[in-house]
């Protein structure tokens, strides 16, 4: 069966439960990814230096993707409605009332011929994703246990869909199929890409830390003595992107965000120091905070756990020369962020290096925060230069240890309670 002509794009005929699941999952994931990219255009950053998708091209591609996905979902819903004995209009109604989509999971009342079974690679991929996200819900996301249970229930409904898909494909096929050829192979690859982007946009995203600004909490690598004095061999991290879609950043969280100061600084990593409504005072090389609940009482915060050798070294100007006490008032829905390596960084104190864009640039809105640092993957030096021909191998050693969740990615301040 040619998936492009007979399953996804054609409105003719009927479809079985397995193809229905395939089409619905493919279509809705495509809608989610494209809608997110269209409403909030962003730079999709890969590990390392990353790459950009231009705003106009991204917007056009998103619109085309949404239209294609809507066509696919409607086609699948209408054909499944016919299979179950409903009118075409009932299939269209299910598009506007999503819970009705579940009716399509009813067992087939007639025998459908599926040309082949789910391959071992298919099954391994599906169940690997299931295990990964289930593990992430309970270990990576810093959310209430009730939300964890609800997310787990929703996710295991997806597991049921995969099980039904696998059951139908393996019990009702009548002859072998050359699956991975032509357009079918292309659609399978595209389906995997959609899932990967869905995970990157909503769940987990990898980043590499470059530079000394978070030393010694996180390691930005060693200096490469070239024309630009760049840093290499930085630590790789996984960023939890789901938690802040449900809750707000907490004081002490280490976050990845976009500073909105130019294309050369797409993402930075910093620690949340000030919450909305706080007053932040920097004086005598220490940070004091007057919270929204006690706006007239400044309390010196204890940062010795993560500042270590940089403790008692928070200045406005280099070496604290000509420093006078400074107070910053954090606007609503914004945050005041600072690096752990205070003497060697530009953060909210300095508008991230460009106060010429306006004083408010020093405060970061929650919408610009990508997520909370959840895991450290360390750094395995596999390649020195991967883009050269041929690629140049590195030392093949773990130059920065894998620490997992054993990192100072959050901190509490009992003195402010």
Residue 108 CA neighbour count, 13 Å, CB half: 23
pLDDT tens per residue across span 84-115: 888 888 888 988 888 888 888 888 777 766 55
Average pLDDT, stretch 381-389? 62
Q: How far apart are CA 215 and CA 283, in angstroms?
A: 23
Phi/psi at 239 (5° precision): -105, 125
pTM assigned to the model:
0.64
Please list the helix, strand and coil fractions of the chain in percent, rounded to the nearest 5, in that order: 45, 15, 40
Q: How far apart are CA 165 and CA 26, in angstroms?
A: 13
**Topology of domain 209-416, CATH:** Umud Fragment, subunit A (2.10.109)
Average pLDDT, stretch 285-303? 93
Residue 254 clears pLDDT 70, i.e. is over it: yes
Average pLDDT, stretch 55-82? 79
Residue 49 clears pLDDT 50, i.e. is over it: no
Cβ-contact 314, 302 below 8 angstroms = no
Average pLDDT, stretch 24-40? 68
* In the chain, where the domains are located: 3-202, 209-416
pLDDT at 315: 83
pLDDT at 388: 55
Q: Which of 307, 308, 301 is nearest to 273 (CA)?
A: 301
């Amino acid at each position: 069966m040619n998936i492009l002509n007979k399953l996804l794009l054609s409105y003719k005929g009927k479809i079985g439960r397995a193809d229905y699941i395939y089409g619905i999952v493919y279509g809705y994931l495509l809608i989610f990814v494209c809608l997110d990219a269209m409403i909030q255009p962003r730079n999709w950053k890969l590990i390392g230096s990353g790459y950009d998708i231009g705003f106009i091209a991204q917007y056009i591609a998103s619109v085309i993707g949404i239209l294609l996905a809507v066509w696919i979902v409607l086609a699948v819903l209408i054909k499944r409605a016919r299979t179950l004995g409903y009118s075409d209009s009932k299939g269209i109604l299910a598009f506007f009332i999503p819970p009705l989509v579940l009716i399509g999971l009813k067992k087939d009342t007639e025998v459908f011929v599926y040309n082949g079974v789910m391959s071992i690679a298919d099954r391994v991929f599906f169940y690997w994703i299931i295990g990964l996200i289930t593990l992430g819900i309970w270990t990576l996301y810093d959310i209430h246990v009730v939300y964890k249970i609800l997310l787990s229930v929703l996710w295991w409904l997806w597991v049921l869909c995969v099980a039904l898909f696998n059951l139908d494909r393996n019990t009702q096929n009548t002859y072998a199929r050359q699956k991975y050829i032509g357009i079918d192979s292309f659609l399978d690859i595209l389906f995997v890409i959609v899932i990967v982007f869905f995970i990157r946009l909503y769940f987990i995203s990898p980043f590499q830390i470059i530079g000394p600004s978070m030393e010694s909490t996180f390691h930005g690598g060693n200096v490469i003595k070239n024309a630009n004095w760049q840093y290499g061999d930085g630590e790789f991290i996984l960023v939890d992107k789901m938690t802040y879609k449900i809750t707000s950043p907490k004081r002490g969280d280490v976050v990845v965000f976009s500073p909105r100061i130019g294309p050369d600084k797409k993402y930075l990593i910093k620690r949340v120091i000030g919450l909305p409504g706080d007053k932040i005072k920097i004086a005598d090389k220490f940070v004091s905070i007057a919270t929204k609940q006690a706006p007239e009482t400044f309390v010196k915060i204890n940062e010795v756990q993560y500042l270590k050798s940089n403790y008692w070294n928070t200045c406005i100007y280099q070496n604290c020369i000509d420093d006078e006490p400074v107070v910053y008032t954090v606007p609503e829905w914004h945050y005041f962020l600072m690096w752990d390596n205070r003497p060697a960084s530009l953060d909210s104190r300095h508008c991230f290096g460009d106060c010429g864009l306006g004083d408010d640039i020093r405060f970061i809105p929650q919408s610009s925060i990508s997520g909370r640092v959840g895991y450290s993957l360390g750094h395995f030096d596999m390649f020195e230069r991967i883009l050269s021909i041929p690629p140049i191998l590195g030392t093949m050693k773990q130059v920065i240890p894998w620490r997992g969740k054993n990192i100072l990615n959050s901190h509490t301040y009992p003195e402010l309670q």
